[in-house]
Amino acid sequence: MLDLGTSSFAGSVPEIEDRMSDPSSWSAGARYSSQQLFDVIATVASDSLTEIFGPDLQPHGGRTFVVAEQRGIRSLGCFWAEKQRIEVDSMSKKITFVCSYQPFTLRLPITDIGLYAADHVSVDEAAVAAANEKIKACQRVLVSVGLSRAYRKSNDQPAYHWLQVNNVHSLLSAMYG
C-alpha cells in the first residue's frame, strides 16, 4: 500500500480517481500478499458493468461498451467476468479479453502489462497461453476494468471513453508474482 499524503482532484468526469500529489510526501504502508490483494479486490468487485460505471455506460456495436465524453460516475472498477478467454489478433497483435455479458460477447482490449514482453508492445505468447490455461478452468474471473481517455474514432463521431481490461487477477498471481 502507498500513502500519497495530501492529494487533490486532478481529473474530469468520469476520471474521478485522478489525483495529484507531491511524490516527496509519499510513504510506504502495509505490504499485501497476492492473496490478500485478491481478497481486497474481490470485496469491491461486481458482476454488473452498469453498477460499476453507472447508467451512462452504453453498448457499442455488441462487442464493447462506451461512456460519452464528460459523462459517467467513475472510470475504474473490478468485474467478475464469465465464459472468458484471451485472444491475440494475428494481424494487429492486439490482445483481447473475450467474455460473456448477456446478451453480448464482449471483446475488450487488455492493457495488463503481464501479458506483454519487456518492450511493453510485443505480445508475450507464453504468458497469454499460461493465462488462458488458468482461466479456462474458472467459472468466472476477476478483472480490473477501466474506461479509456476520451477517444474519437473519426471526426464525424462523438468522443467516447471505451471499456478495457486493465488487469486479469483470478488465478494469475503466480504469473505476476
Q: Is 109 helix (H, G, I), strand (E, B) or coil?
A: strand
The pLDDT value given to residue 171? 52
Q: What is the pLDDT of residues 13-61, one digit of tens each?
A: 999 898 999 999 999 988 988 888 888 899 999 999 999 999 999 999 9
pTM of the model: 0.88
List alpha helices for the chain, DSSP H. Answer: 34-44, 49-53, 125-136, 173-176
- Confidence at residue 177, expressed as pLDDT on a 0 to 100 scale: 39
User: What was the pLDDT predicted at 138?
Assistant: 85
Instruction: Evaluate whether 80 touches 140 at the Cβ level (below 8 Å).
Output: yes
Mean pLDDT of the chain: 90
Question: Is 8 in a helix, a strand, or coil?
Answer: strand
User: What's the pLDDT tens digit per position in 33-44?
Assistant: 888 888 889 999
| DSSP 8-state secondary structure symbol assigned to residue 103 | T
Collapse the DSSP code of 93 into the 3-class scheme (helix H, G, I; strand E, B; otherwise coil) and give the result. Answer: coil
Residue ranges of the chain with pLDDT lower than 50? Answer: 173-177
> How much is the CA Rg of the chain, to the nearest whole Å?
17
Phi, psi torsion values for 135, nearest 5 degrees:
-80, -20
d(CA 135, CA 84): 7
Given this model, what pLDDT does residue 20 score? 93
